[in-house]
Amino acid sequence: MTDVLDTVAVSPAGSRGPQASAAESNGGEQPLRTAVVRAAELARDAEDHARERQHAKGKKTARERLDLLFDTGSFEEIGRFQGGNIQGGNAGAAVITGFGLVYGRKVAVYAQDFSVKGGTLGTAEGEKICRLMDMAIDLKVPVVAIVDSGGARIQQGVAALTQYGRIFRKTCEASGFVPQISLILGPCAGGAVYCPALTDLIIMTRENSNMFVTGPDVVKAATGETISMADLGGGLVHNTVSGVAHYLGEDESDAIDYARTVLAYLPSSADSQPPTYAYAATRAERDTAKRLATIVPDNDRQPYDMLDVIRCIVDYGEFVQVQELFGASAVVGFACIEGKPVGIVANQPNVRAGILDVNSSEKVARFVRLCDAFNLPVITLVDVPGYKPGSDQEHAGIIRRGAKVIYAYANAQVPLITVVLRKAFGGAYIVMGSKAIGADFNFAWPSSQIAVLGAAGAVNIIHRHDLNKAKAAGQDVEALRAKYIKDYETSTVNANLSLEIGQIDAMIDPEQTREVIVQSLATLATKRRVKRTTKHHGNQPL
């Protein structure tokens, strides 16, 4: 519960509150102590100072950010003056902690205040953050971190670094139990970067948002390389190149709105189910489902946009992408099916034919793990020609990093539903939510192709001697190859083989896809987790 001191201090616009004005104007029954009035003045002055410093840089104050994050008037601050000295004119620590509502559900937050000692972290800040995280774990509510900090407070030395260690450990304790989202709205450097790196989602902005272990000055001194902060660790770099971030906001308001949106799909903790929303089917949506029959080209080498397919399947066509700018040959994100949140994983034929590479593999694996941790069913839409070939992929660790997809799907215990739209070849077919790896239901469209290799590639291997002989004899090699390809497609690539051996549960028409997914989710609604061994944990490829 907020005490009198906090209540006065956080009154709107830094005012002294109704109790203070009543006491001064008519000698009310409950006059406030001088210290309380002084605290309110400090709070008001601190916010005025924050506005001056932050607005000059095109940034919002920590409290303005909280106003955007939470439902109006719902923020309740804790430890307002912890680390401060009211009589000495010190308003408190460089971090704000508390709870508020996001779409009516409680969320914990800590927001670093760059206007106070550059937002640096010392003993008081670390204690406030750790206390908040302990409460969030006890209350089973998500944690949002708003990061805008100069790092560890150098004046406190090892004491400041120790607080980072404590926060790391708390973040790991909360991982997979309550959702954790990091908003990087300013600098985040040195060891401080590992606080957000341990959370579920990192959101950055195009301007003012930076993350790096060593800054440009240190890089230049150590290596001679001259590079800007944006090019070294800006929001665009981490969304497109490194994959560290999951969303690039156009500005702070956009970034915070994305955090609110994501929280709307996630449960408060692993012990609860995701929220559900009212949904009523309309004729327009049934007509939209029929469009699926026209989106995917008959030519299996012709690209199309998987997002068009997803929008025809999910409620109201609403799909919230995660890591949209990274590993773009795969698409992952949140949607609802009849008002119930789900995770969507799909190949993207518009980008390198939807092939799996090191980046898209890690993107898929991480997202499946997120969904499994927080009880979201995973819908997998498959159109994959295989893994990207080449020495660059092998040297980048496609074996180790591709294995993460296997680990994610094989260990997931939420409902898993897979639909093969067009092609699913080789190991990529197996790892993309196949029946063999643990999916509950697998479906395929009539034109789908499932095999070890595509027909052309398989014929070139299986019939290479026949083709060489035909060439030596002066025969029409291409005509013979075409015949072999047609025979292979009929006998092997056809999805009927997978249907006959039980790896596909049913062949469905494209326009049936949403209906079949809805029915499957209803069937799997009572699926529960089972602990099959007594192991402490698996040794995941990392």
Q: Which of 170, 174, 167, 157 is nearest to 188 (CA)?
A: 167
Q: Which residues pair with 201 in a beta bridge?
A: 181
Encode pLDDT of 113-162 as tens digits: 988 888 899 999 999 999 999 999 999 999 999 999 988 898 999 999 99
For range 10-31, the mean pLDDT? 48
Query: When comparing pLDDT for 495 and 343, which is higher?
Result: 343
Encode pLDDT of 426-480 as tens digits: 889 999 999 999 999 999 999 888 886 666 777 788 888 888 888 888 888 788 8
- Phi-psi group of 172: left, alpha or beta (phi > 0 → left; psi -120 to 50 → alpha; rest → beta): alpha
259 is catalytic: no
Query: When comparing pLDDT for 22 and 430, which is higher?
Result: 430
Q: What Cα–Cα distance (Å) separates residue 186 from each residue in 67, 119, 162, 165, 189?
A: 18, 10, 22, 21, 10
Active-site position among 176, 427, 438, 457: 427
Active-site position among 136, 346, 365, 428: 428
For range 211-233, the mean pLDDT? 94
What is the sign, positive or negative, of the torsion defined by CA atoms of 111, 113, 117, 120?
Answer: positive
Flag whether pLDDT at 340 surpasses 50.
yes
Encode pLDDT of 184-214 as tens digits: 999 999 889 999 999 999 999 999 999 999 9
Q: Which of 240, 161, 251, 262 is nearest to 206 (CA)?
A: 251
Domains of the chain: 34-265 (3.90.226.10), 283-453+494-524 (3.90.226.10), 455-492 (no CATH)
235 is catalytic: no
Instruction: Locate 213 and state its tokens.
Output: 């272990």
Q: What is the enclosing helix (H) or strand (E) of 170?
A: helix 158-174
Distance CA 187, CA 414 (A): 37
In whole numbers, what is the pLDDT of the chain averaged over residues?
89
- The DSSP secondary structure of 441-480, one letter per residue, reads EEEE-TT-EEESS-HHHHHHHHTHHHHHHHHHTT--HHHH
- Measure CA 260 to chain center: 12
Name the pLDDT band for 497 (thresholds 50, 70, 90).
low
Q: Which of 441, 429, 250, 462 is nearest to 356 (CA)?
A: 429
Instruction: Locate 500 and state its tokens.
Output: 């006959």
Distance CA 178, CA 70 (A): 18
What is residue 116's predicted lDDT score, i.e. its pLDDT? 86
- The DSSP secondary structure of 388-407, one letter per residue, reads PPSHHHHHTTHHHHHHHHHH
What is residue 28's predicted lDDT score, i.e. its pLDDT? 56
Distance CA 156, CA 273 (A): 43
Active-site position among 83, 190, 235, 243: 190
Q: Which of 335, 316, 413 is nearest to 379 (CA)?
A: 335
- CA atoms within 13 Å, Cβ hemisphere of 112: 28
Helix axes 62-69, 252-263, angle to 10 degrees: 40
What is residue 146's predicted lDDT score, i.e. its pLDDT? 97
Active-site position among 28, 118, 176, 191: 191
- Measure CA 311 to chain center: 19
390 is catalytic: no
What is residue 7's predicted lDDT score, i.e. its pLDDT? 44
Q: What Cα–Cα distance (Å) separates residue 351 from each residue in 326, 327, 332, 410, 480?
A: 11, 9, 14, 26, 32
Total Cβ atoms within 10 A of residue 144: 28
The single residue listed with the structure tokens 């697998």 is: 442
Flag whether pLDDT at 2 surpasses 70.
no
402 is catalytic: no
Q: 98 in helix, strand or coil?
A: strand
Distance CA 313, CA 306 (A): 11
